[in-house]
Amino acid sequence: NHAFDYGKRALLETLDHLDDENIAHIGSVKSAQTLYEPLMFEKNGIRFAFFAVTDLMNFKHGWHDFVATTDTSKLFPAIREAAASVDVVILSVHGGDEYSDRPAKRLTIFEEQAVMQGVTIVLGHHPHVPYGIEHFGGGYILHSLGNFVFYQPQLFWTQLSFAARITVEKNAGTTTVTSVECIPIQAGYQPSLLSDSSELSQLKARL
């Protein structure tokens, strides 16, 4: 939702710099024709398709051709097409209600629908606080990863979060998510692993 904070020129310059350094990126593009094309890559014989969209933007005009949204009429056909040719589809979703105690219902419905289209893993973010993980159908939905490199000491749950280690295995032509591991962290400008036992217990209860 901040992709247009400094306007179209700055966004396009950012994408050029990423390309110059061979850093892969997804979600923001230079041309509307490629807006819903996934990032495709292969690792250890497993083929991945990565999509990234936002459900909200800080601006009303000028950005729709450059930042992918949760427009199901455009996104879902692209997901179905990708799912037919890869082993794992990952969808990064920026949306929800900041600091809310639970995932927004409208976004939960969208994420579950995305899994039904062929998404294997949904990575949610924007609320600044962590939510739980849902195993829905054949996919996993991480409703909000919370803060990471972000310092918000004013609220308890803006300071605690988790990283996710997701293991995917392919055997005899079948690809499976074999584990989703939560790694507790203390969020901030220098994130660190969380070691305090009382805070760990509260984080586990929230997940």
Tens of pLDDT along 136-177? 999 999 999 999 999 999 999 999 999 999 999 999 989 999
Predicted TM-score (pTM) of the model is: 0.93
Q: What is the 3-state secondary structure (H, E, C) of 42-105?
A: EECCEEEEEEEEECCCCCCCCCCCCECECCHHHHHHHHHHHHCCCCEEEEEEECCCCCCCCCCH
Mean of all residue pLDDT scores within the chain: 94
- Split at pLDDT 50, 70, 90, the class of 112 is very high
Question: Position 88: which residue type?
Answer: V
pLDDT at 11 exceeding the cut of 70? yes
Mean pLDDT, rounded, for 62-88:
96
At 207 the pLDDT is: 66
Q: Could you tell me which residue, 204 or 128, shows the higher pLDDT?
A: 128
Gap between the Cα atoms of 188 and 60, Å rounded: 30
**CA–CA distance from 69 to each of 22, 56, 61, 207 (Å)?**
24, 8, 14, 27
- Split at pLDDT 50, 70, 90, the class of 117 is very high
Number of neighbouring beta carbons within 10 Å of residue 203:
20
Mean pLDDT, rounded, for 196-201:
72
Dihedral pair phi/psi, residue 25, rounded to 5°: -150, 160
| Span of 108-117, 140-149, 184-193, 197-206 with lowest mean pLDDT | 197-206
End-to-end CA distance of the chain: 26
Mean pLDDT, rounded, for 166-195:
93
- Count each helix (H run) and each strand (E run) in the chain, helices first: 4, 9
Mean pLDDT, rounded, for 21-37:
95
At 163 the pLDDT is: 94
H or E element at residue 17: helix 7-20
